[in-house]
Structure 1
Amino acid sequence: MIALSAGETRQLPRTIIPIGAGRLFGQMPGALLSEGYFGAKLVSVFAEPDRPGRTAHLGVVVLFDAESGQAVCVADAGAITLIRTAAGTAVATDALAVPDAERLTVMGYGHQASAHIEALARVRPLREVKVWGRSIERARAFCVTMAEKTGLAMLPVADPREAVTDAQIVCTVTGAVEPILFADWLTPGTHVNLVGASVASAAEAEAAVVSVGRYFVESRESARNGAGEFLRAVAAGLVTEDCIQAEIGEVLAGMRPGRQSASEITIYKSIGHAVQDLAATAYLYEQS
């Protein structure tokens, strides 16, 4: 992410081709100039008829060597996306959340929810994890599984506001296209990761969430093109485009400040970038 903010990478905006009702084909090309690789993620996003509102992501990441021009590695895009998304959130959380954060709330109970809990436990001394989802039964089952897997205290919560109250870290990792998180639920000092919605038409948090704290992004360009919560906040006149405090790469490089007080609310918007997929794939290739 430091390389992205420093202009040491190249990538084109994500392109999506509709190929039928509820079916999309996405392409994310990019280049890691300093690492000597380029390539692309190619992924299908198909609606799951038996799970309304949910989609399946299948595809590959193809890595090329910039010296020879040869394709040198093909990786499972589903596994790469799962790991790098949670890892990116953990890096941002480490930079922006209060250092002693113990209470995490996860909104969602899918694969990204489990990956995020495991990743965040590596950067903060988590003591309690509350989980909210539209089905309390599925939330309970998820909590049982994750408690056995991580040893953390996992608490399913039926009411979303109750789940968020007093949380020090909140992660939204759902397929929601309309808000499930609201500004007046957040308490001073909370860090929020908005992860699930990655297109301009979807927003997991109401627009006001962007305006109640300091707002950080992966890249300004991608936020202006695809961050639904941010775009709704601008359209509603709650903020201007200048509300973006920094790219996370700028914070990590020490170019711009992250959290400045224990009481402020920080918000991080994750959309995902081809260079993250390529960096993860390059790591795997170099370990092989």
Structure 2
Amino acid sequence: MIVLADSEVLQLLDMPAVIDAVRQAQIDHAMGTAALPAPLAAAHPTEDSMFLSMMAASNRDNLAVVKLLADIPSNSKRGLPTQRSTVLAVSASDGKPEAVLSGPSLTRFRTAAATAVATRALARKNSSVAGFVGAGALAHAHLNALSTEMPIQKVLVWSRSTERRHEFARIARERGFEVDVKESPEEIVRESDIVCTLTPSKAPVVRGEWFGAGQHVNAVGAPPRADHREIDTAGISRSSVFVDSLPGALAESGDVLIPLQEGAISHAHFRREIGQVLAGHHPGRVSDKEITLYNSLGTGLQDLAAARLLIDAAKKSGLGTEIDLLK
């Protein structure tokens, strides 16, 4: 089996290839040729830490994977990432260990790729202004992915960190985009065709009263916790909401669960998975005035799609460390 460190994952991943792989994986799920159970969560008995097991299996890729995601808020006080993850991949045909992969860069790439796939499927085709609420590494990956799939010309950015928002703006300008740095999330939402929320927020940072006709919103940043959300109830209620996995959303998405608990919407509001749109089972956007929202939790099947690319690329390039667990 191959072991890949995060630096090697970064060398091997190619965003257009990840986008194509994630799109196909979500179609496979809708067609019944890939398995995607709901994630399992284990809370730390004494600390505010959560451990999430994300699984998937695919006929096409002949892989089964499990990613263990550790969400540890107290890590921020230690100067460590609040989320860490590792992916184990085995052959779906005989169970042979294929790879152990560092999770952070893999997750960042496949998350941005999934957003780009959903945006292409749901946003108005002429959407050219992309707004980013949050300016960290995930925002950079999203700009890369969205500009691959959509005719992005202008970029708007806001972050609580002044340093991050200006660094993001500098890099986006170097890539040839027109860029405006904004002073509030409201400005981002009111002036964008496509909005990406990319913050680890517990309380909403975006309000539905700011949404405009025809807008597309990607709610991406909130951690997999039922009490965390980036979009308020009005935003969810006003939007046609699409999810990557309905069981996953109903298990861990505060953006979904809080409006349900409040009685603002029903379960029927969320019965549209993006794979069903990609497979032609659901029309997606039905008018240029409709507000669409993609609620991204991330799935094990997206991890699997990226893992397949990494394993194949590592074998060709010679990167990674080969070990034999079966000796």
> 1:144 deviation in Å?
1.3
User: What are the equivalent positions in structure 2 for 1:149-188 lying under 5 Å apart?
Assistant: 150-188=175-213
Letter in 1 for 2:209: D
Q: What is the CA–CA distance in structure 2 between the aligned matches of 1:55 and 1:155, rounded to whole Å?
A: 29
Partner residue of 1:190 out of 215, 220, 224: 215
Q: Secondary structure at the match of 2:164?
A: helix
Q: How does 1:231-270 map to 2 (within 5 A)?
A: 231-244=257-270, 246-270=272-296
- Counterpart selection for 1:129 from 143, 146, 155: 155
CA contact (8 A) 2:188 2:195 kept: no
Residue in 2 that maps onto 1:49: 76
Give the secondary-structure state (helix, strand or coil) at the position aligned to 1:49.
Answer: helix
Q: Percent identity?
A: 33
- The amino acid that maps onto 1:181 is V
Segments of 5+ residues of structure 2 without an aligned counterpart are 1-25, 316-327
Question: Which TM-score applies when normalising by structure 1?
Answer: 0.92
Is there any run of 5+ residues in structure 1 with no aligned partner, and where?
A: none
Q: Which residue of structure 2 lines up, in the alignment, with residue 100 of structure 1?
A: 126
**Are 2:211 and 1:211 equivalent residues in the alignment?**
no
Higher strand fraction: Structure 1 or Structure 2?
Answer: 1
Q: Could you say what secondary structure the match of 1:26 adopts?
A: strand
Query: What is the CA RMSD across the aligned residues, in angstroms?
Result: 2.0
Deviation at 1:229, TM superposition (A): 1.6
Whose relative contact order is higher, 1 or 2, with alpha carbons under 8 Å and at least 6 apart? 2
Cα distance in 2, alignment partners of residues 242 and 24 from structure 1: 28
Q: Is the counterpart of residue 143 in structure 1 residue 169 in structure 2?
A: yes
1:221 equivalent to 2:262? Answer: no
2: distance between equivalents of 1:45 and 1:13? Answer: 14
- Structure with bigger helix share is 2
Give the Å deviation of 1:4. 2.0
Structure 1 residue runs of 4+, over 4 Å off? none
Of 30, 33, 37, the residue aligned with 1:8 is 33
- Whether 1:40 aligns to 2:66 is yes
Instruction: Give the SS at the match of 1:62.
Output: strand
Q: TM-score, normalised by structure 2?
A: 0.82
SS in 2 for 1:115: helix
Aligned length: 286
Q: Residues 194, 89 of structure 1: CA spacing in aligned structure 2 closer, same or farther, 3 A cutoff?
A: same
- Mark the CA change 1:65 to 1:240 in structure 2 (over 3 Å): closer, same or farther: same
Contact 1:19 1:25 in 2 (8 A): no
Deviations along 1:102-152, one digit per CA (max 9) or x if unpaired, are 11111001111110011000111111111111133431222113322x221
Counterpart among 120, 125, 139 of residue 146 in structure 2: 120
